[in-house]
């Protein structure tokens, strides 16, 4: 039987190392997927992705999905019910009136804005992390960069892609909350903070206000425009895909993670792990004070969220796996990457609970929470360390969660946040019971993973796209409850011994941070 393409929704998410697309039907079943690997580059002191890489990656990802769908169902995608674009949050994308990028895309990884972000936090009386879009704009202002007077539109990566597909300057509220402070009641940018920043722009004699250059804020389910003819060709240069397809509000990867784990209701929480890792906890009230380590963002439907964002998670693990892959090739023993990950992760279960008294810092880039200015991946052991493969692999996974734990301690100890359970998602949880077990020990709470955990953000974006055309007057939380009511949930509860083992490792990890700061001076 021929598939009704108008009942399908496509989610595309531009992550830090992979662009992935997920196609679902109206039962939210995954019908096809596509992916494209890419990497950021460090050019002229900025982490960036080239514009051509963005669009070549999107096209490659979409065509991979298109082939997968045709191979399974012998049908070519010519239309869809809806599309949604999501991407890594924050960063700096500014366009002139002709839609030309005024600077290379500056990603969330850039910590050069740190000092200016601290000042802006005081000025706006709102925590402004170095990653946020407004911190990047403020940096450009204070550095008197030449492009400022030409700015016609500032947005995020998801907002940029969405704009070129639809010609609509809009942004989902979760992604917008990583650009600028949001007023939870009005569901848009905080007007008092807007006024303060507009005065700064006026003092610099710039010919615009933030309202002039910022995208309109939309909540989940809102009309965000349609795919234009030009946009259709950007996705599918073969011309098979036709215009007129409605698009959901473009969102951030934090928001899609909350959707894919059904953790948008108050007092729920999730962990999203990839190149970066962040914990999202939906709050019923504001925090008692500003914490530099805690971002305040929103769910895709506009609830208040405390976010612990850690810049580094899986990148250093990937580097070590690549090294082990090279060793295999020396012996003409070619093992595919997924098998290598699976076997090495399972080996970690045999390791000592304290990871053999070794320390590893996965800091490929700088880390705000632990005050590390720039990347310095480091492995440390002494003569008493138990240096074997099982401990080494356990150590690498522990390292992926260590800085998150340091940030989480703020919410649990100072704000008395009573976290009973978290849902986790991301590729690191693909091997059953390994990373999930170690994360539970780190957070000292049960950790759950659902059956779609390894689909992650693209699946969440596909759901938001389906919600746009299939919401039937349901609020997003009710819609997700209906969707996930029969989902298989796998929960692991940590033992006292596992918790104690991780904390022993973390105690050494915390003390050793001074070593990383000293090591950074070597590579100035």
Q: CA–CA separation, 481 vs 351, rounded Å?
A: 38
Q: What is the pLDDT of residues 340-389, one digit of tens each?
A: 999 999 999 999 999 999 999 999 988 988 989 888 999 999 999 999 99
Model confidence, pTM: 0.83
pLDDT > 70: percent of the chain: 99
Q: CATH fold of 315-451+494-520, please?
A: Nucleotidyltransferase; domain 5 (3.30.420)
Least confident of 34-38, 67-71, 372-376, 442-446: 372-376
Q: CA–CA separation, 267 vs 281, rounded Å?
A: 7
Q: Are 424 and 278 in contact (CB under 8 A)?
A: no
Q: What is the pLDDT of residues 165-220, one digit of tens each?
A: 999 999 999 999 999 999 999 999 999 999 999 999 999 999 999 999 999 999 99
Q: Are 288 and 209 in contact (CB under 8 A)?
A: no
**Residue recorded with tokens 């496509």:** 10
Q: Are 258 and 460 in contact (CB under 8 A)?
A: yes
Please say if the pLDDT value at position 11 is more than 60.
yes
pLDDT of 110: 86
Q: What is the pLDDT of residues 444-468, one digit of tens each?
A: 999 999 876 566 789 999 999 999 9
SS3 assignment, position 36:
strand
Q: Are 165 and 245 in contact (CB under 8 A)?
A: no
Residue 99: left if φ>0, alpha if ψ -120 to 50, beta else—which one? left
Q: What is the pLDDT of residues 282-293, one digit of tens each?
A: 988 888 899 988
Q: Are 156 and 184 in contact (CB under 8 A)?
A: no
Determine how many CB atoms are found less than 10 A away from the CB of residue 288.
9
Q: CA–CA separation, 257 vs 397, rounded Å?
A: 20
Q: How many residues does the chain have?
A: 524
Q: Are 505 and 354 in contact (CB under 8 A)?
A: yes
pLDDT of 443: 93
DSSP letter string, 62-114: HHHHHHHHHHHHS------SEEEEEE----BEEE-TT--BSSPPB-TT--TTH
**Residue recorded with tokens 């978290």:** 422
CA distances from 300 to 177, 222, 348 (A): 10, 11, 36
Q: CA–CA separation, 437 vs 355, rounded Å?
A: 14
For all residues of the chain together, what is the average pLDDT?
94
**Residue recorded with tokens 């914490």:** 291
Please say if the pLDDT value at position 524 is more than 70.
no
pLDDT of 45: 87
Return the higher-pLDDT residue of 416 and 277. 277
Q: What is the pLDDT of residues 95-108, one digit of tens each?
A: 999 999 999 999 98
The tokens for 403 are 């800085």
First to last CA, the chain: 63
CA angle (366, 370, 375) in 5-degree steps: 20
Q: What is the pLDDT of residues 74-94, one digit of tens each?
A: 999 999 999 999 999 999 999
Confidence of residue 57 (pLDDT cuts 50, 70, 90): very high
């Amino acid at each position: 039987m021929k598939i009704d393409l108008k009942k399908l929704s496509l989610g595309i998410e531009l992550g830090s190392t992979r662009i992935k697309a997920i196609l679902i039907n109206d039962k939210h079943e995954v019908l096809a997927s596509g992916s494209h690997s890419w990497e950021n580059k460090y050019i002229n002191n900025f982490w960036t992705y080239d514009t051509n890489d963005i669009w070549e990656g999107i096209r490659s990802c979409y065509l991979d999905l298109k082939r997968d769908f045709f191979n399974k169902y012998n049908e070519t995608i010519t239309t869809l019910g809806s599309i949604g674009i999501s991407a890594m949050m924050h960063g700096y994308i500014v366009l002139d009136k002709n839609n030309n990028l005024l600077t290379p895309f500056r990603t969330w990884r850039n910590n050069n804005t740190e000092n200016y972000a601290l000042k802006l936090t005081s000025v706006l009386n709102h925590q402004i992390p170095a990653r946020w879009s407004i911190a990047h704009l403020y940096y450009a202002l204070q550095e008197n960069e030449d492009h400022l007077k030409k700015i016609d539109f500032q947005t995020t990566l998801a907002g940029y892609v969405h704009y070129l597909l639809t010609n609509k300057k809009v942004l989902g509220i979760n992604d917008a909350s990583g650009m600028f402070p949001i007023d939870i009641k009005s569901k848009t940018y905080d007007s008092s903070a807007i006024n303060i920043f507009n005065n700064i722009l006026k003092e610099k004699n710039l010919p615009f206000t933030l309202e002039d250059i910022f995208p309109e804020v939309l909540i989940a389910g809102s009309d965000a425009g349609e795919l234009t003819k030009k946009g259709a060709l950007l996705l599918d240069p073969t011309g098979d895909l036709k215009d007129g397809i409605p698009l959901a509000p473009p969102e951030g990867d934090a928001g899609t993670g909350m959707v894919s784990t059904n953790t948008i209701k108050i007092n729920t929480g999730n962990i999203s792990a990839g190149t970066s890792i962040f914990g999202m906890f939906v709050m019923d009230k504001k925090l008692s004070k500003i914490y530099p380590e805690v971002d305040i963002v929103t769910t895709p439907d506009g609830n208040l969220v405390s976010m612990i964002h850690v810049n580094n998670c899986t990148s250093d693990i990937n580097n070590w796996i690549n090294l082990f892959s090279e060793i295999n090739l020396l012996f003409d023993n070619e093992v595919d990457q997924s098998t290598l990950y699976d076997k090495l992760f399972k080996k970690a279960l045999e390791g000592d609970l304290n990871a053999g008294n070794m320390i590893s810092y996965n800091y490929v880039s700088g880390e705000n929470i632990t005050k590390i200015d720039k990347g310095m991946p480091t492995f440390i052991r002494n003569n008493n360390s138990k240096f074997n493969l099982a401990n080494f692999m356990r150590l690498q996974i522990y390292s992926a969660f260590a800085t998150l734990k340091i940030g989480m301690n703020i919410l649990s100890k100072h704000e008395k946040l009573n976290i009973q359970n978290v849902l986790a998602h991301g590729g690191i949880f693909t091997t059953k019971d390994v990373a999930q077990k170690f994360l539970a020990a780190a957070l000292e709470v049960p950790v759950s993973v659902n059956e779609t955990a390894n689909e992650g953000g693209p699946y969440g974006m596909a759901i938001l796209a389906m919600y746009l055309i299939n919401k039937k007057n349901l609020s997003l939380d009710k819609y997700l409850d209906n969707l996930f009511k029969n989902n298989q949930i796998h929960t692991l509860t940590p033992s006292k011994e596992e918790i104690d083992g991780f904390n022993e490792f973390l105690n050494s990890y915390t003390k050793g941070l001074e070593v990383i700061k000293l090591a950074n001076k070597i590579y100035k």
